Amino acid sequence: MTVGRKPSDPAWIEYAAALRRRRQALGMTILDLSCESGITTPEISVLERGLAMPRLRTLVAWRVALGLPPMPAPDW
């Protein structure tokens, strides 16, 4: 599994939940997302629940599979 340390930031937990809502809005199952992103289904489940933080390459693959830009625009 390519998950990093357990998150402590509530912002990460909300961000992960937003990605889950995006997947659901697209009508994708976790299996669909896994096939599109190359991320395992158990890993997606853990990440979507905010139980761990992904590595950068995992986050990029996750976002691209959901039709989002690889990285969010900065809030500058």
pLDDT tens digits, one per residue of 3-55: 555 666 788 899 999 999 999 999 999 999 999 999 999 999 999 998 898 99
Task: Give the pLDDT band of residue 75 (cuts 50, 70, 90).
Answer: low
Higher pLDDT, 40 or 2: 40
- Domain ranges in the chain are 30-66
**Type of residue found at 50:** G
As a whole number of angstroms, the distance between CA 48 and CA 51 comes to 8
| pTM (2 d.p.) | 0.81
Q: Return the pLDDT at 25.
A: 97
Higher pLDDT, 71 or 11: 11
Q: 74 with 64: CB under 8 angstroms?
A: no
As a whole number of angstroms, the distance between CA 73 and CA 69 comes to 9
How far is the first Cα of the chain from the last one, in angstroms, to the nearest whole number? 33
Assigned token pair, 53: 């933080």
